[in-house]
Chains A and B, each alone.
Chain A
């Protein structure tokens, strides 16, 4: 499909004939999709192309209507979202989706706990789990927010919230990471900083990024999938996509 003939063992993610219908409306139609280990893939497309729905199918927040999904060589089509997370799938959201009434550090501690048995213990206060806190501090350091650790999320700037979002997705060391428009709503300077953070991530992590800003998409990803009306419109390298006039039409034509 994408021209790279890889065997299954090297697929980080492999979707076949993926379809999602909401009532009569098909948001994602017959999508075949393959990403190899360590690849950086951008997914672009106009509004309503089904990009976010596609992510929600991959991570299991929406059940698929038909088709199959294979994650790291394992069929996960019927697996609930939390089990896919346990296999090493992380995700961020387009609309900031944090715990607004809690502090930055607590947001990270809760994230770190997601894949640990600790989350079920009831008889010791969370604040007594020191290793979780040092792990959270480390993660904050990596996005440069350590000095803001005890601020409530709702008192952070929007840009800072986006950074916390990334830190939360990284803290449980995902093998595959889905980033849903990480630069949406950011100023050009913040946006630049965010793409630097993404570029600086561990190269062994497979990253899928939905991006509205073509320049950001082309700078972080080596290969691009264009979605249009729920279907894969084309796949190719940055230059191929840039050079395709029909992509220009559907993508840039709308603005």
Chain B
């Protein structure tokens, strides 16, 4: 009971801190930091949607970068070539990411474990190949620039106004993901994760539930991609490459999979470290490498799992 109260209090403190950073501080922060927070929110949304797969369904998909890129490129192409506004590009981005997942899922879900990992990664690489080389359509290596923030129904050209728009969007989407996880459907996914054979016997179409989760997660990632295109006003093949795919994975894994909050913490840490470190040193890649290695070596349950890990270690030592 005591532990529960404590974690309850901790949750409120965390929520208050998040509200402070996302909603209260931006007007007094320099624009550079505000835009970092905006970016962290967008990546956080994508990482949270990936957590549906990694943490709650045990489908470690590496294809998430592909949905993100598809969403971003769809928005970029529609915006620059058709002068389409946000509310027109958003549903198309979501739809394209969802359709790609629907096709990929049919194939990838025939496999499991390492096979699943590798097939989703190969699919993501193929999307990268597409955007990298289809010069006429995607700008190839040069990417696509000149994306304008039109069709929002609001003037969002300022850093701060776009930040608040993104925040609202983020809160709604992450809230929706939270609701999905707590809903009968989400609890079903956890049941499948823990014991798929049992779920079948109880009358659940295990495949269908996983397939739906796969597509839903992709749609949120596509949404994140769309928002990213408007945020960055530029998309390039780097937004679709292996490093980007792995970075989403790292955010989830480093923050703590199966927690929903963890991936957001991971996204904030990566975004801030990456952008601040690259001001002071050229060796940002080395720092990122160290984060990967340390996270893999020492934090199997991520940052949010560290207290539990320490408790278990203490218990094990006391047992000796």
Contact = CB atoms under 8 A, between A and B. Distances in A.
Given A82-B206, A102-B190, A123 B200 contact: no
Given A97-B195, A99-B190, A99-B191, A115 B183 contact: no
Greatest chain A CB density within 10 A among B179, B183, B212 is at B183
Interface residues of B, number: 25
A160 to B, nearest CB: 17
Contacts of B195: 97-99
Nearest to A165: B198
A230 interface: no
Given A82-B204, A102-B190, A114-B204, A61 B179 contact: no
A182 to B, nearest CB: 15
Contact of B200 (A61, A102, A119, A121): A61
Interface residues of A, number: 37
A98 to B, nearest CB: 7
A106 B186 CA distance: 13
A122 B201 contact: no
B188 A93 contact: no
B230 to A, nearest CB: 27
Contacts, number: 94
A77 interface: no
A208 to B, nearest CB: 14
Interface stretch (A3-11, A18-26, A84-92): A84-92
B299 interface: no
Contact of B187 (A86, A93, A126, A172): A126
Contacts of B194: 99-102
Interface of A: 59-61, 80-82, 85-86, 90-91, 93, 97-102, 106, 110-111, 113-115, 118-127, 129, 168-169, 172
18 contacts: A61-B201, A81-B200, A82-B202, A82-B203, A82-B205, A86-B203, A98-B195, A101-B194, A102-B190, A115-B202, A115-B203, A119-B184, A121-B184, A124-B179, A125-B179, A125-B182, A126-B184, A168-B202
